[in-house]
Chain A
Amino acid sequence: MKAKISALMDGELDAQELNEPLSALGEDAEAFETWRTYHLISDALQGRALLANDCRRRVVARLADEPILIGPLPADVARPERARWLVPSALAASIAAVALVGWMAFAPQQKTGPLLASVAKAPQPAQVVAARAAPPAPVRLPMTAATRDYLIAHQALSPRNSLQGMAPYVRSVSAESHPGKP
Chain B
Amino acid sequence: MSRTLGALLLFTVAGWAQAQTTPEALDWLRKIYRATEKLSYSGTFVYQQGDRTETSRITRLADAAGGTEKLEVLDGTPREILRTRDEIRCYLPESRTVKVDRRSDPRAFPALLPEQVAGLTEYYVVTLGEMRRIAGFTCQAVVLTPKDDLRYGYRLWADAGSGMLLKAQTFDRDGQTMEQFTFTHLEIGNVSRERLRPPRAAQGWRVEQAGVAPADLSRSGWSVSAELPGFRKIVEIRRMLRDAQPVAQMVYSDGLAAVSVFIEPMPGRAEAARIGISSLGAVNVYTREVANHLVTVVGEAPAASVQRIGNTVEYRPQ
Residues of A within 8 A of B56 (CB): 167, 170
Q: A162 near B307 (CB under 8 angstroms)? A: no
Q: B280 near A171 (CB under 8 angstroms)? A: yes
- Complex Cα gap A108–B278 (Å): 14
Residues of B within 8 A of A (CB): 4, 7-8, 29, 32-33, 36-37, 45, 47, 49, 52, 54, 56, 58, 60, 69-71, 73, 75-77, 79-81, 83, 88, 90, 92, 94, 99, 101, 109-113, 149, 156, 165, 168, 172, 174, 176, 181, 210, 234-235, 239, 241-242, 247, 249, 251, 253, 255-258, 260, 262, 271, 274-281, 283-288, 296, 298-300, 302-304, 307, 311
Residues of B within 8 A of A170 (CB): 47, 54, 56, 71, 73, 181
Measured CB to CB, the closest approach of chain A to B303, in angstroms, equals: 5
Q: B274 near A141 (CB under 8 angstroms)? A: yes
Q: B260 near A147 (CB under 8 angstroms)? A: no
Q: Is A112 an interface residue (CB 8 A)?
A: yes
**Proximity bits, A80-117, B CB within 8 Å = 1, else 0:** 00000000000000000000000011001110110010
Q: A154 near B4 (CB under 8 angstroms)? A: no
Residues of A within 8 A of B29 (CB): 163
Known contacts A141-B276, A157-B258; can you find 14 more A-B pairs with CB under 8 A?
Answer: A108-B176, A135-B311, A138-B288, A142-B278, A143-B279, A151-B285, A152-B99, A161-B109, A162-B113, A163-B29, A163-B256, A171-B281, A171-B283, A181-B77
Residues of A within 8 A of B111 (CB): 159, 161-162
Residues of B within 8 A of A141 (CB): 274, 276-278, 285, 287
Given contacts A158-B110, A168-B181, contact A173 B307 (CB under 8 A): no
9 closest cross-chain pairs (CB), A and B: A158-B258, A139-B276, A162-B112, A141-B278, A173-B79, A154-B260, A159-B112, A141-B276, A138-B276
Residues of A within 8 A of B4 (CB): 50, 53
Q: A158 near B69 (CB under 8 angstroms)? A: no
Partner of A169, one of B60, B71, B257: B71
Q: Which of B256, B303, B311 has the most CB of A within 10 A?
A: B303
